[in-house]
Structure formats: C-alpha cells, structure tokens
Amino acid sequence: MDTSTDVLADQVRAKRTAIDNDLELLRVKVAQADPRRVDKEKLAKRAAPVVGPLLAGAAVWMLARRRRAVGSLEQLLVHTMGDLYRAELALLPALERMRAAATNPDLVSAFQQHAQETRGHIDRLERAFRSIGAKPKRGVSESVASVVAEGERLLKRRVDPDVRDAWLIANAQKAEHLEIAGYGTARTFAQTLGYTFAAQLLQETLEEERATDEKLTRLAERFVNPQSIR
C-alpha cells in the first residue's frame, strides 16, 4: 500500500469514527423523542454529509486497491514484460528521431543499430509472451514515458550540435538503464517461475541493452562530451 492509499485509509477510518459518533448521538435523541415526532427527512439530511463522503472515499480506496491488485509473481512478470513491451514500442520511433537529430557519425550509427535491435526486442517480447500463454497490453509505458517526453522537448530546442549529441546520449542512457533494470527483473521472475525459454529471450535482450549502454558511454567519453565543451 502506498502513501496516498494510507492517507485515504486514514481518512476513511476517521470518517467511519465520525459517523459512528453521529449515529450514536442520533440514536440517543431518537430514543428520547416521541417516535411519532421523528422527522425521517431531517434525519437523512443530517446523516448525508457524513455518509456521502465516506462512501465516495471508500469507493475510491477500493477502486485503487483493485487497480493495483497483483496477486502473484506470474502476474508481476506479465506486468513487467508488458511495461517493457510498451517501452520498446515508444522507444523505436524515439530512436529514429534521435538518429535523425544526431551529428556525430558514430552516434548516428549507434542509434541506427539500436533501432534495428529494438525491432528484435519487440519480437522477442512477443515470443516470450506467447511462451508463457499471455498477451501484452498496448498503452503508455509507465517507466519510460517521462524519458521519451524529455527527448521530445530536447529535439525541439535550438542547441549546439555537439551539446545536443551529449544530451541525446544522456537521454538515451536513461532509457537504457530503465530497460536494463526491467529486463533483469523480468528475466529473474521468469527463471523463478520455470519459464526457461522466456528467461532466455529476456536475457538476450538484456545483454544487447547493456552493450548499447556501454557503447554510448564510450562515445560520450571519447568524442561527444569533449567536443561539447570546446
């Protein structure tokens, strides 16, 4: 349970206590009053401000719990692989745009090669999904959405070409690090669950992501960063 859910749970508990107190007060008043003179509408109006928000809060809390429900390691594997799949689909066009924006020929070639590899990563994930009898969902990757958005902002800015190359590498490496973490986690989940073939596919991609990350580091250290401080 995260902090927001804790806060919501505390609010629900506080409201529940408040309504219990109010209802107890009402019960005392009703017991003291002549039953023929109890105004049911007035009673309902008095309870509504407490009951309404309580029910709404409880509904939101239950919905949040339901949305986040991941009941098994298998579901967590599907969730992790799904996020990787959506990340690769988002990164493929982003890599093409980064390649077009890069100046250093080695960087252009690195982006070109990784875009080609990324097509293979998408294919491997689809095969891994089939091998475990699951399907990926389309949508936005929670892990790389902000990196892709930052890349888009970068490409719209007027920046010195060498500085832009350094920035492109930094942005690409953020995505690589997220992917490396995701693939390493998914590979280990798959191994733990006995999905040997899926684990092997995830490991192959993990190695390519690591190799790309190292290549980008070498490029940054040898060519791009020194040029960008001229």
Q: Which residues bind Fe ion (CB under 5 A)?
A: 118, 121, 179
Helix, strand, or coil (residue 142) = coil
If the CB atoms of residues 102 and 115 are measured against Fe ion, the closer one turns out to be: 115
Separation between Cα atoms, residue 22 and residue 17, nearest integer Å: 9
Min separation Cβ 178 and Fe ion, Å: 10
Q: Which two tokens stand for residue 90?
A: 């988002």
Minimum CB distance to Fe ion, residue 181 (Å): 12
Using the minimum distance from each CB to Fe ion, give the nearer residue, 118 or 228: 118
C-beta of 83 vs 179, nearer to Fe ion: 179
Of the candidates 88, 86, 117, which has an alpha carbon nearest to the alpha carbon of residue 216?
117
Within 10 A of 206 (CB to CB), how many other CB atoms are there?
20
Residue nearest to Fe ion (CB): 121
Of residues 15 and 121, the one with the C-beta less far from Fe ion: 121
The full 3-state SS of 164-218, as one line of letters, equals: HHHHHHHHHHHHHHHHHHHHHHHHHHHHHCCCHHHHHHHHHHHHHHHHHHHHHHH
Minimum separation from the CB atom of position 9 to Fe ion (A): 38
State in angstroms the smallest separation of the CB of 182 from Fe ion.
9
Q: How far is the CB of 179 from Fe ion (least distance, A)?
A: 5
Q: Residue 103: helix, strand or coil by DSSP?
A: coil
Q: Closer to Fe ion by CB, 179 or 213: give it.
A: 179
Record the tokens describing residue 210, joined without a space: 């690591």
